[in-house]
Structure 1
Amino acid sequence: MIAEVADCLDNLRVPLNDVQRAKMKGDYPYCGANGVLDYIDRFCVDDSVILMAEDGGYFDEYMTRPIAYRMSGKFWVNNHAHILKAKREYDQDYLFYSLVHKDILSFLASGTRAKLNKSELNKITIRQPANKEEQTAIAVILNDMDSEITALDSKINKARQIKQGMMQELLTGRIRLV
Protein backbone atom coordinates (compact mmCIF):
# COMPACT_ATOMS: atom_id res chain seq x y z
CA MET A 1 0.00 0.00 0.00
CA ILE A 2 1.12 3.55 -0.67
CA ALA A 3 1.14 4.34 3.04
CA GLU A 4 3.91 1.75 3.45
CA VAL A 5 6.14 3.00 0.62
CA ALA A 6 5.58 6.77 0.57
CA ASP A 7 4.89 9.74 2.79
CA CYS A 8 1.91 11.88 1.89
CA LEU A 9 2.90 15.53 2.34
CA ASP A 10 -0.52 17.09 1.79
CA ASN A 11 0.12 19.43 4.72
CA LEU A 12 2.34 21.44 2.33
CA ARG A 13 -0.52 22.20 -0.08
CA VAL A 14 -2.02 25.68 -0.16
CA PRO A 15 -4.93 26.55 -2.46
CA LEU A 16 -5.01 29.95 -4.17
CA ASN A 17 -7.84 31.40 -6.22
CA ASP A 18 -7.38 33.16 -9.57
CA VAL A 19 -7.45 36.63 -8.01
CA GLN A 20 -4.75 35.74 -5.49
CA ARG A 21 -2.56 34.18 -8.18
CA ALA A 22 -2.97 37.21 -10.45
CA LYS A 23 -1.32 39.33 -7.74
CA MET A 24 1.55 36.87 -7.33
CA LYS A 25 2.95 36.46 -10.87
CA GLY A 26 6.48 35.06 -10.83
CA ASP A 27 8.78 32.22 -11.83
CA TYR A 28 7.70 29.34 -9.57
CA PRO A 29 5.32 26.72 -11.00
CA TYR A 30 1.84 26.60 -9.46
CA CYS A 31 0.73 22.96 -9.72
CA GLY A 32 -2.69 21.35 -9.80
CA ALA A 33 -4.14 17.90 -10.44
CA ASN A 34 -2.76 17.54 -13.97
CA GLY A 35 0.29 19.75 -14.13
CA VAL A 36 1.51 23.32 -13.98
CA LEU A 37 -1.35 25.83 -14.11
CA ASP A 38 0.48 29.12 -13.63
CA TYR A 39 3.67 30.73 -12.34
CA ILE A 40 3.79 32.69 -9.09
CA ASP A 41 6.36 34.51 -6.98
CA ARG A 42 6.37 32.05 -4.05
CA PHE A 43 6.81 28.35 -3.40
CA CYS A 44 5.60 25.98 -0.69
CA VAL A 45 7.63 22.91 -1.72
CA ASP A 46 11.37 22.62 -2.36
CA ASP A 47 11.90 18.93 -3.08
CA SER A 48 11.54 16.13 -5.64
CA VAL A 49 8.06 14.65 -5.30
CA ILE A 50 5.25 12.92 -7.13
CA LEU A 51 2.02 14.85 -7.53
CA MET A 52 -1.07 12.69 -7.92
CA ALA A 53 -4.49 14.03 -8.79
CA GLU A 54 -6.94 14.23 -5.90
CA ASP A 55 -9.81 15.50 -8.02
CA GLY A 56 -10.06 16.72 -11.57
CA GLY A 57 -7.59 14.06 -12.67
CA TYR A 58 -7.70 11.95 -15.81
CA PHE A 59 -8.85 8.94 -13.78
CA ASP A 60 -11.10 7.50 -16.51
CA GLU A 61 -8.33 7.92 -19.10
CA TYR A 62 -5.54 6.44 -16.97
CA MET A 63 -4.30 4.21 -19.81
CA THR A 64 -3.53 7.09 -22.16
CA ARG A 65 -3.23 10.11 -19.86
CA PRO A 66 -1.20 10.41 -16.65
CA ILE A 67 -2.83 10.60 -13.23
CA ALA A 68 0.49 11.51 -11.58
CA TYR A 69 3.53 13.58 -12.52
CA ARG A 70 6.95 14.44 -11.11
CA MET A 71 8.03 17.84 -9.87
CA SER A 72 11.42 18.87 -8.62
CA GLY A 73 12.83 22.07 -7.13
CA LYS A 74 10.75 24.97 -5.87
CA PHE A 75 7.03 25.11 -6.69
CA TRP A 76 3.56 25.59 -5.20
CA VAL A 77 0.91 22.85 -4.98
CA ASN A 78 -2.81 23.52 -4.71
CA ASN A 79 -5.31 21.26 -2.96
CA HIS A 80 -6.20 19.27 -6.10
CA ALA A 81 -3.04 17.14 -6.03
CA HIS A 82 -1.61 14.82 -3.38
CA ILE A 83 2.11 15.22 -2.66
CA LEU A 84 3.99 11.91 -2.39
CA LYS A 85 7.60 11.22 -1.49
CA ALA A 86 8.97 7.68 -1.51
CA LYS A 87 10.31 6.50 1.81
CA ARG A 88 14.07 6.05 1.98
CA GLU A 89 14.02 2.32 1.24
CA TYR A 90 11.95 2.77 -1.94
CA ASP A 91 12.83 4.24 -5.32
CA GLN A 92 10.96 7.47 -6.14
CA ASP A 93 10.95 6.89 -9.91
CA TYR A 94 9.73 3.32 -9.48
CA LEU A 95 6.85 4.64 -7.36
CA PHE A 96 6.07 7.20 -10.08
CA TYR A 97 5.96 4.58 -12.84
CA SER A 98 3.79 2.37 -10.63
CA LEU A 99 1.22 5.17 -10.33
CA VAL A 100 1.29 7.23 -13.53
CA HIS A 101 -1.08 4.97 -15.50
CA LYS A 102 -2.62 2.91 -12.68
CA ASP A 103 -6.28 2.00 -12.59
CA ILE A 104 -7.47 3.49 -9.30
CA LEU A 105 -11.14 3.87 -10.19
CA SER A 106 -12.23 1.59 -7.35
CA PHE A 107 -10.56 3.95 -4.84
CA LEU A 108 -12.42 7.07 -5.98
CA ALA A 109 -15.29 8.65 -4.10
CA SER A 110 -18.07 9.46 -6.50
CA GLY A 111 -20.04 12.65 -6.66
CA THR A 112 -20.16 15.57 -9.03
CA ARG A 113 -16.42 15.08 -9.46
CA ALA A 114 -14.45 11.88 -8.83
CA LYS A 115 -12.15 12.31 -5.85
CA LEU A 116 -9.23 10.34 -4.45
CA ASN A 117 -9.25 11.17 -0.75
CA LYS A 118 -6.15 10.61 1.37
CA SER A 119 -7.45 7.54 3.21
CA GLU A 120 -8.21 5.79 -0.09
CA LEU A 121 -4.90 6.95 -1.60
CA ASN A 122 -3.07 5.23 1.24
CA LYS A 123 -4.85 1.93 0.44
CA ILE A 124 -3.66 1.74 -3.18
CA THR A 125 -1.40 -1.28 -3.59
CA ILE A 126 1.98 -0.99 -5.26
CA ARG A 127 3.67 -4.17 -6.45
CA GLN A 128 7.40 -3.83 -6.07
CA PRO A 129 10.54 -5.90 -6.03
CA ALA A 130 11.84 -6.64 -2.55
CA ASN A 131 14.98 -4.54 -2.87
CA LYS A 132 15.53 -0.94 -3.86
CA GLU A 133 18.30 -1.83 -6.33
CA GLU A 134 15.88 -3.77 -8.54
CA GLN A 135 13.30 -0.98 -8.28
CA THR A 136 15.96 1.50 -9.39
CA ALA A 137 17.06 -0.72 -12.30
CA ILE A 138 13.47 -0.96 -13.54
CA ALA A 139 12.96 2.79 -13.17
CA VAL A 140 16.18 3.52 -15.10
CA ILE A 141 15.00 1.37 -18.01
CA LEU A 142 11.62 3.13 -18.07
CA ASN A 143 13.29 6.56 -17.83
CA ASP A 144 15.56 5.65 -20.75
CA MET A 145 12.55 4.55 -22.79
CA ASP A 146 10.76 7.82 -21.99
CA SER A 147 13.83 9.76 -23.14
CA GLU A 148 13.92 7.79 -26.40
CA ILE A 149 10.19 8.39 -26.97
CA THR A 150 10.68 12.12 -26.37
CA ALA A 151 13.57 12.20 -28.86
CA LEU A 152 11.51 10.32 -31.46
CA ASP A 153 8.53 12.64 -30.93
CA SER A 154 10.85 15.59 -31.54
CA LYS A 155 12.12 14.03 -34.79
CA ILE A 156 8.56 13.33 -35.94
CA ASN A 157 7.53 16.94 -35.24
CA LYS A 158 10.54 18.25 -37.15
CA ALA A 159 9.75 15.95 -40.11
CA ARG A 160 6.15 17.21 -40.12
CA GLN A 161 7.34 20.82 -40.21
CA ILE A 162 9.73 20.06 -43.08
CA LYS A 163 6.95 18.26 -44.97
CA GLN A 164 4.58 21.20 -44.43
CA GLY A 165 7.18 23.61 -45.81
CA MET A 166 7.90 21.36 -48.79
CA MET A 167 4.19 20.98 -49.55
CA GLN A 168 3.81 24.76 -49.70
CA GLU A 169 6.80 25.08 -52.01
CA LEU A 170 5.81 22.18 -54.27
CA LEU A 171 2.06 22.73 -54.43
CA THR A 172 2.31 26.46 -55.15
CA GLY A 173 4.78 25.85 -57.95
CA ARG A 174 7.63 27.79 -56.32
CA ILE A 175 9.72 24.65 -56.66
CA ARG A 176 9.50 22.62 -59.86
CA LEU A 177 10.64 19.02 -60.06
CA VAL A 178 10.73 18.81 -63.85
Structure 2
Amino acid sequence: MKSSYDILGNHIRLIDTRNRESITDRVLGINIDKFFMPSVANVIGTDLSKYKLITKGKFACNPMHVGRDERLPVALYDEEEPAIVSPAYFMFEVVDNSILNEDYLMMWFRRPEFDSICWLHTDGSVRGGITWDDICRLELPIPPIEKQLEIVNSYKAITERIALKQKINDNLLATSQAIFKSWFVDFQPFEGKCPYFWRNGCVEDIAEFYDSMRKPLSTLERTDMEKVYPYYGAVSIVDYVDDYLFDGEYLLVSEDGIYVVDENGHPLLQHITGKFWANNHAHILKGKAGFTEDSLYLFLANTNMAPIVTGAAQPKINQANLKSFPLVIPDSETLSKFNALIEPFFDQRLSNVAEIKELEALKELLLSQLTH
Protein backbone atom coordinates (compact mmCIF):
# COMPACT_ATOMS: atom_id res chain seq x y z
CA MET A 1 0.00 0.00 0.00
CA LYS A 2 1.50 3.32 -1.05
CA SER A 3 1.73 5.86 1.74
CA SER A 4 -0.15 9.13 1.59
CA TYR A 5 1.92 12.26 2.19
CA ASP A 6 1.06 15.09 4.53
CA ILE A 7 2.89 18.11 5.93
CA LEU A 8 4.58 17.58 9.25
CA GLY A 9 2.88 20.59 10.82
CA ASN A 10 -0.46 18.76 10.78
CA HIS A 11 0.94 16.11 13.11
CA ILE A 12 3.31 17.83 15.56
CA ARG A 13 3.02 20.77 17.95
CA LEU A 14 5.45 22.84 19.96
CA ILE A 15 5.52 22.43 23.72
CA ASP A 16 7.21 24.77 26.18
CA THR A 17 7.45 23.15 29.60
CA ARG A 18 10.08 24.88 31.70
CA ASN A 19 12.11 23.59 34.63
CA ARG A 20 10.52 26.17 36.91
CA GLU A 21 10.36 23.86 39.93
CA SER A 22 14.00 22.78 39.45
CA ILE A 23 12.96 19.18 38.90
CA THR A 24 16.36 18.25 37.47
CA ASP A 25 19.77 19.74 36.72
CA ARG A 26 20.70 17.16 34.07
CA VAL A 27 21.36 19.22 30.93
CA LEU A 28 21.37 17.38 27.60
CA GLY A 29 22.42 18.34 24.11
CA ILE A 30 21.84 16.53 20.80
CA ASN A 31 24.68 15.23 18.65
CA ILE A 32 24.64 15.09 14.86
CA ASP A 33 23.86 11.36 15.04
CA LYS A 34 20.52 12.42 16.55
CA PHE A 35 20.97 11.10 20.06
CA PHE A 36 20.79 12.95 23.36
CA MET A 37 24.11 13.39 25.10
CA PRO A 38 25.35 15.21 28.23
CA SER A 39 25.77 18.87 27.39
CA VAL A 40 29.32 20.22 27.33
CA ALA A 41 28.09 23.80 27.76
CA ASN A 42 29.27 25.66 30.86
CA VAL A 43 26.10 26.18 32.90
CA ILE A 44 27.76 27.37 36.11
CA GLY A 45 25.73 30.30 37.35
CA THR A 46 23.02 29.70 34.75
CA ASP A 47 19.38 29.84 35.79
CA LEU A 48 18.32 26.29 34.90
CA SER A 49 14.69 27.05 35.69
CA LYS A 50 14.52 28.70 32.25
CA TYR A 51 15.60 25.51 30.52
CA LYS A 52 13.01 23.31 28.83
CA LEU A 53 11.93 20.15 30.65
CA ILE A 54 11.75 17.14 28.36
CA THR A 55 9.98 13.88 29.22
CA LYS A 56 9.59 10.48 27.60
CA GLY A 57 8.02 10.50 24.15
CA LYS A 58 8.87 14.14 23.42
CA PHE A 59 11.21 15.46 20.72
CA ALA A 60 13.82 18.21 20.85
CA CYS A 61 15.91 19.71 18.10
CA ASN A 62 18.66 22.27 17.74
CA PRO A 63 17.72 24.47 14.78
CA MET A 64 20.84 26.62 14.82
CA HIS A 65 23.60 24.65 13.03
CA VAL A 66 21.89 22.90 10.11
CA GLY A 67 23.69 24.88 7.43
CA ARG A 68 27.09 24.22 8.96
CA ASP A 69 26.66 20.56 9.92
CA GLU A 70 24.32 19.61 7.05
CA ARG A 71 22.08 17.82 9.55
CA LEU A 72 19.19 18.76 11.79
CA PRO A 73 20.11 17.52 15.29
CA VAL A 74 16.77 16.11 16.45
CA ALA A 75 16.11 13.30 18.91
CA LEU A 76 13.28 11.44 20.61
CA TYR A 77 13.61 11.27 24.40
CA ASP A 78 13.00 7.71 25.65
CA GLU A 79 14.08 7.78 29.30
CA GLU A 80 11.76 7.58 32.28
CA GLU A 81 13.48 10.36 34.24
CA PRO A 82 13.09 13.90 32.82
CA ALA A 83 16.00 16.05 31.70
CA ILE A 84 16.43 19.64 30.52
CA VAL A 85 17.55 21.11 27.20
CA SER A 86 18.55 24.56 26.02
CA PRO A 87 15.79 27.20 25.87
CA ALA A 88 16.88 27.74 22.25
CA TYR A 89 15.83 24.22 21.26
CA PHE A 90 12.47 23.44 19.68
CA MET A 91 10.62 20.92 21.85
CA PHE A 92 7.60 19.20 20.35
CA GLU A 93 5.30 16.18 20.44
CA VAL A 94 3.10 14.12 18.13
CA VAL A 95 -0.50 15.36 18.15
CA ASP A 96 -2.19 11.95 17.71
CA ASN A 97 -0.26 8.70 18.26
CA SER A 98 -3.03 6.67 16.64
CA ILE A 99 -2.20 8.38 13.34
CA LEU A 100 1.56 8.95 13.60
CA ASN A 101 3.85 6.85 15.75
CA GLU A 102 6.71 8.80 17.35
CA ASP A 103 9.29 6.06 16.66
CA TYR A 104 8.24 6.00 13.02
CA LEU A 105 8.64 9.78 12.89
CA MET A 106 12.12 9.49 14.40
CA MET A 107 13.00 6.99 11.67
CA TRP A 108 11.95 9.58 9.09
CA PHE A 109 14.15 12.19 10.80
CA ARG A 110 17.12 9.82 10.43
CA ARG A 111 16.89 9.65 6.64
CA PRO A 112 19.75 11.47 4.83
CA GLU A 113 17.15 12.90 2.46
CA PHE A 114 15.43 14.61 5.39
CA ASP A 115 18.68 16.34 6.34
CA SER A 116 19.26 17.38 2.74
CA ILE A 117 15.84 19.01 2.58
CA CYS A 118 16.42 20.76 5.91
CA TRP A 119 19.75 22.04 4.64
CA LEU A 120 18.02 23.54 1.62
CA HIS A 121 15.67 25.45 3.97
CA THR A 122 18.40 27.02 6.11
CA ASP A 123 18.69 30.78 6.44
CA GLY A 124 21.61 33.01 5.53
CA SER A 125 23.24 33.14 8.96
CA VAL A 126 26.81 31.95 9.54
CA ARG A 127 25.69 28.66 11.06
CA GLY A 128 22.59 28.29 8.91
CA GLY A 129 19.49 27.90 11.07
CA ILE A 130 16.05 26.57 10.21
CA THR A 131 12.71 27.94 11.40
CA TRP A 132 9.85 26.07 13.01
CA ASP A 133 7.57 27.04 10.15
CA ASP A 134 10.00 25.52 7.64
CA ILE A 135 10.08 22.28 9.62
CA CYS A 136 6.29 22.18 9.72
CA ARG A 137 6.09 22.61 5.95
CA LEU A 138 8.17 19.47 5.31
CA GLU A 139 6.24 16.47 3.99
CA LEU A 140 6.41 12.84 5.07
CA PRO A 141 4.60 9.63 4.11
CA ILE A 142 2.05 8.42 6.68
CA PRO A 143 0.99 4.81 6.09
CA PRO A 144 -1.64 3.08 8.27
CA ILE A 145 -0.55 2.86 11.90
CA GLU A 146 -0.26 -0.95 11.68
CA LYS A 147 2.27 -0.60 8.88
CA GLN A 148 4.17 2.02 10.85
CA LEU A 149 4.46 -0.33 13.84
CA GLU A 150 5.61 -3.19 11.61
CA ILE A 151 8.38 -0.99 10.18
CA VAL A 152 9.35 0.26 13.64
CA ASN A 153 9.63 -3.29 15.04
CA SER A 154 11.90 -4.37 12.18
CA TYR A 155 14.06 -1.30 12.71
CA LYS A 156 14.28 -1.91 16.47
CA ALA A 157 15.42 -5.52 15.94
CA ILE A 158 18.36 -4.25 13.90
CA THR A 159 19.20 -1.45 16.33
CA GLU A 160 19.15 -3.87 19.28
CA ARG A 161 21.66 -6.12 17.51
CA ILE A 162 23.84 -3.09 16.82
CA ALA A 163 23.57 -2.03 20.47
CA LEU A 164 24.71 -5.51 21.58
CA LYS A 165 27.79 -5.36 19.34
CA GLN A 166 28.56 -1.84 20.49
CA LYS A 167 28.34 -2.94 24.13
CA ILE A 168 30.82 -5.74 23.43
CA ASN A 169 33.10 -3.20 21.77
CA ASP A 170 32.78 -0.88 24.77
CA ASN A 171 33.94 -3.74 26.99
CA LEU A 172 36.85 -4.55 24.66
CA LEU A 173 37.92 -0.91 24.65
CA ALA A 174 37.57 -0.68 28.44
CA THR A 175 39.90 -3.67 28.77
CA SER A 176 42.40 -2.06 26.41
CA GLN A 177 42.15 1.21 28.34
CA ALA A 178 42.81 -0.64 31.60
CA ILE A 179 45.95 -2.20 30.11
CA PHE A 180 47.09 1.23 28.89
CA LYS A 181 46.56 2.74 32.33
CA SER A 182 48.46 -0.10 33.95
CA TRP A 183 51.44 0.38 31.64
CA PHE A 184 51.61 4.10 30.96
CA VAL A 185 49.87 5.78 33.89
CA ASP A 186 50.54 3.53 36.88
CA PHE A 187 53.72 2.00 35.33
CA GLN A 188 52.98 -1.34 36.99
CA PRO A 189 55.32 -3.38 34.74
CA PHE A 190 58.12 -0.90 35.62
CA GLU A 191 57.95 -0.95 39.42
CA GLY A 192 55.61 2.03 39.50
CA LYS A 193 58.02 4.48 37.87
CA CYS A 194 58.32 5.91 34.37
CA PRO A 195 61.52 4.44 32.89
CA TYR A 196 64.22 7.09 32.65
CA PHE A 197 65.12 6.11 29.09
CA TRP A 198 61.68 6.92 27.68
CA ARG A 199 61.83 10.16 25.76
CA ASN A 200 59.83 13.34 25.45
CA GLY A 201 58.32 13.82 22.03
CA CYS A 202 55.17 15.01 20.30
CA VAL A 203 52.28 13.63 18.26
CA GLU A 204 54.14 14.22 15.00
CA ASP A 205 56.81 11.76 16.18
CA ILE A 206 54.32 8.90 16.37
CA ALA A 207 51.71 9.76 13.73
CA GLU A 208 51.77 10.34 9.99
CA PHE A 209 49.27 12.96 8.81
CA TYR A 210 47.24 12.59 5.60
CA ASP A 211 45.18 15.76 5.83
CA SER A 212 46.29 16.89 2.36
CA MET A 213 44.29 14.00 0.84
CA ARG A 214 40.97 15.17 2.33
CA LYS A 215 38.36 16.65 0.06
CA PRO A 216 34.99 18.02 1.24
CA LEU A 217 31.91 17.41 -0.88
CA SER A 218 28.84 19.60 -0.52
CA THR A 219 25.38 18.18 0.02
CA LEU A 220 24.49 19.06 -3.56
CA GLU A 221 27.58 17.28 -4.91
CA ARG A 222 26.65 14.14 -2.97
CA THR A 223 22.94 14.17 -3.77
CA ASP A 224 23.04 12.12 -6.97
CA MET A 225 25.95 9.88 -6.03
CA GLU A 226 25.56 6.14 -5.63
CA LYS A 227 25.78 5.34 -1.91
CA VAL A 228 28.76 2.96 -1.79
CA TYR A 229 31.58 4.27 0.41
CA PRO A 230 31.23 6.03 3.78
CA TYR A 231 31.82 9.79 3.79
CA TYR A 232 33.26 10.75 7.20
CA GLY A 233 32.99 14.03 9.02
CA ALA A 234 34.39 15.23 12.34
CA VAL A 235 32.85 12.54 14.53
CA SER A 236 30.87 10.11 12.36
CA ILE A 237 29.70 9.05 8.92
CA VAL A 238 27.91 11.98 7.30
CA ASP A 239 26.82 10.27 4.08
CA TYR A 240 27.80 7.68 1.49
CA VAL A 241 29.45 8.48 -1.86
CA ASP A 242 30.43 6.72 -5.08
CA ASP A 243 34.23 6.88 -4.71
CA TYR A 244 36.92 6.76 -2.02
CA LEU A 245 40.09 8.63 -1.08
CA PHE A 246 41.50 6.27 1.53
CA ASP A 247 41.88 2.50 1.73
CA GLY A 248 43.28 0.91 4.87
CA GLU A 249 43.38 1.47 8.60
CA TYR A 250 43.34 5.07 9.85
CA LEU A 251 42.49 7.23 12.83
CA LEU A 252 40.32 10.29 12.38
CA VAL A 253 40.72 13.05 14.97
CA SER A 254 37.94 15.64 15.15
CA GLU A 255 39.29 18.97 13.90
CA ASP A 256 36.30 21.27 14.28
CA GLY A 257 32.56 21.25 14.89
CA ILE A 258 30.23 21.41 17.86
CA TYR A 259 32.54 19.11 19.86
CA VAL A 260 36.21 18.26 19.35
CA VAL A 261 36.98 16.87 22.83
CA ASP A 262 34.91 15.04 25.41
CA GLU A 263 34.12 16.19 28.95
CA ASN A 264 37.62 15.10 30.06
CA GLY A 265 39.37 16.97 27.27
CA HIS A 266 40.17 13.80 25.32
CA PRO A 267 40.02 14.14 21.52
CA LEU A 268 37.11 12.55 19.66
CA LEU A 269 38.50 9.68 17.57
CA GLN A 270 37.25 7.35 14.87
CA HIS A 271 39.15 4.11 14.17
CA ILE A 272 38.43 3.17 10.56
CA THR A 273 39.32 0.36 8.18
CA GLY A 274 38.48 -0.15 4.52
CA LYS A 275 37.67 2.28 1.73
CA PHE A 276 36.25 5.68 2.64
CA TRP A 277 36.10 9.39 1.83
CA ALA A 278 36.74 12.10 4.44
CA ASN A 279 35.93 15.79 4.53
CA ASN A 280 38.15 18.47 6.06
CA HIS A 281 36.59 18.38 9.53
CA ALA A 282 38.80 15.53 10.80
CA HIS A 283 42.57 14.99 10.80
CA ILE A 284 43.62 11.73 9.10
CA LEU A 285 46.37 9.80 10.91
CA LYS A 286 48.31 6.53 10.78
CA GLY A 287 50.78 5.26 13.33
CA LYS A 288 54.53 5.38 12.70
CA ALA A 289 57.82 4.78 14.55
CA GLY A 290 56.53 1.49 15.99
CA PHE A 291 53.05 2.78 16.79
CA THR A 292 50.17 0.86 15.28
CA GLU A 293 46.78 2.49 14.82
CA ASP A 294 45.75 0.58 17.97
CA SER A 295 48.44 1.99 20.23
CA LEU A 296 48.17 5.43 18.61
CA TYR A 297 44.44 5.37 19.40
CA LEU A 298 45.06 4.64 23.08
CA PHE A 299 47.80 7.24 23.47
CA LEU A 300 45.65 9.96 21.91
CA ALA A 301 42.41 8.86 23.58
CA ASN A 302 44.04 9.20 27.01
CA THR A 303 45.57 12.62 26.42
CA ASN A 304 43.93 15.84 27.61
CA MET A 305 44.04 18.11 24.58
CA ALA A 306 41.64 20.76 25.88
CA PRO A 307 44.54 23.27 26.17
CA ILE A 308 45.00 23.33 22.37
CA VAL A 309 41.31 23.77 21.49
CA THR A 310 40.79 27.19 19.95
CA GLY A 311 37.67 29.10 18.96
CA ALA A 312 34.57 29.88 21.01
CA ALA A 313 31.81 29.79 18.42
CA GLN A 314 33.37 26.79 16.67
CA PRO A 315 35.93 24.77 18.68
CA LYS A 316 38.94 23.64 16.67
CA ILE A 317 42.14 21.60 17.01
CA ASN A 318 44.38 22.81 14.21
CA GLN A 319 47.02 20.61 12.64
CA ALA A 320 50.02 22.56 13.92
CA ASN A 321 48.83 22.36 17.54
CA LEU A 322 48.02 18.67 17.24
CA LYS A 323 51.38 17.80 15.68
CA SER A 324 53.32 19.65 18.37
CA PHE A 325 51.34 18.35 21.34
CA PRO A 326 53.84 16.83 23.83
CA LEU A 327 53.87 13.14 24.73
CA VAL A 328 56.13 10.74 26.59
CA ILE A 329 57.22 8.03 24.13
CA PRO A 330 58.23 4.55 25.37
CA ASP A 331 61.15 2.57 23.99
CA SER A 332 60.61 0.30 20.98
CA GLU A 333 60.77 -2.97 22.95
CA THR A 334 58.09 -1.85 25.41
CA LEU A 335 55.94 -0.56 22.57
CA SER A 336 56.25 -3.84 20.65
CA LYS A 337 55.13 -5.85 23.69
CA PHE A 338 52.24 -3.48 24.31
CA ASN A 339 51.13 -3.68 20.66
CA ALA A 340 51.06 -7.48 20.84
CA LEU A 341 49.02 -7.37 24.05
CA ILE A 342 46.28 -5.08 22.78
CA GLU A 343 46.09 -6.29 19.18
CA PRO A 344 43.53 -9.12 19.79
CA PHE A 345 41.13 -6.69 21.50
CA PHE A 346 41.27 -4.21 18.63
CA ASP A 347 41.01 -6.96 16.00
CA GLN A 348 37.79 -8.15 17.62
CA ARG A 349 36.51 -4.57 17.84
CA LEU A 350 37.13 -3.99 14.15
CA SER A 351 35.42 -7.30 13.30
CA ASN A 352 32.39 -6.16 15.28
CA VAL A 353 32.54 -2.78 13.59
CA ALA A 354 32.38 -4.55 10.21
CA GLU A 355 29.21 -6.36 11.31
CA ILE A 356 27.78 -3.13 12.66
CA LYS A 357 28.38 -1.51 9.26
CA GLU A 358 26.41 -4.31 7.58
CA LEU A 359 23.58 -3.83 10.07
CA GLU A 360 23.70 -0.07 9.53
CA ALA A 361 23.34 -0.71 5.80
CA LEU A 362 20.20 -2.73 6.54
CA LYS A 363 18.92 0.19 8.61
CA GLU A 364 19.56 2.58 5.75
CA LEU A 365 17.77 0.25 3.37
CA LEU A 366 14.78 0.15 5.69
CA LEU A 367 14.81 3.95 6.01
CA SER A 368 14.99 4.31 2.22
CA GLN A 369 11.83 2.23 1.88
CA LEU A 370 9.74 4.56 4.02
CA THR A 371 8.63 6.38 0.89
CA HIS A 372 7.05 3.26 -0.63
TM-score, scaled to structure 1: 0.72
Equivalent residues in 2 for 1:1-80 (5 A)?
Answer: 1-56=202-257, 57-62=259-264, 67-80=268-281
- The structure-2 alpha-carbon separation of the partners of 1:5 and 1:12, relative to structure 1 and needing over 3 Å to count, comes to same
Aligned to 2:166: none
Q: Which of 288, 295, 310 is the matching residue for 1:94?
A: 295
Separation (CA, whole Å) in 1 of partners of 2:336 and 2:271: 16
Report Cα offsets for 1:36-93 as digits up to 9, x if no partner. 2221111011121111000124414247x86112111210010000001112433321
Separation (CA, whole Å) in 2 of partners of 1:101 and 1:24: 38
Q: Which of 318, 322, 337 is the matching residue for 1:137?
A: 337
Report Cα offsets for 1:82-127 as digits up to 9, x if no partner. 0011124333211111112431010111231110001101112233
Aligned to 1:127: 328
Report Cα offsets for 1:116-172 as digits up to 9, x if no partner. 0011011122333211x4324334544555759xx9xxxxxxxxxxxxxxxxxxxxx
8 A contact 2:260–2:267 mirrored in 1: yes
How many residue pairs match? The answer is 148
Percentage of matched positions with identical amino acids: 30
8 A contact 1:26–1:42 mirrored in 2: no
SS at match of 1:126: strand
What residue ranges of structure 1 are gaps of 5+ in the alignment? 152-178
Q: Which of 113, 122, 128 is the matching residue for 2:314?
A: 113
Separation (CA, whole Å) in 1 of partners of 2:233 and 2:206: 23
TM-score, scaled to structure 2: 0.36
Name the aligned partner's letter for residue 137 of structure 1: K
Instruction: Indicate the larger mover: 11-20 or 88-97.
Output: 88-97
- The structure-2 alpha-carbon separation of the partners of 1:3 and 1:55, relative to structure 1 and needing over 3 Å to count, comes to same
SS at match of 1:34: coil
Shift of 1:9: 0.8
- Which structure's relative contact order is higher, taking Cα pairs within 8 Å and 6+ residues apart? 1
Separation (CA, whole Å) in 1 of partners of 2:267 and 2:305: 12
Separation (CA, whole Å) in 1 of partners of 2:345 and 2:290: 24
- If you compute each CA radius of gyration, which structure gives the higher value, 1 or 2? 2
Any runs of at least 4 consecutive aligned residues in structure 1 with deviations exceeding 2 A, and if so which? 60-63, 88-92, 125-128, 133-148
Name the aligned partner's letter for residue 34 of structure 1: V
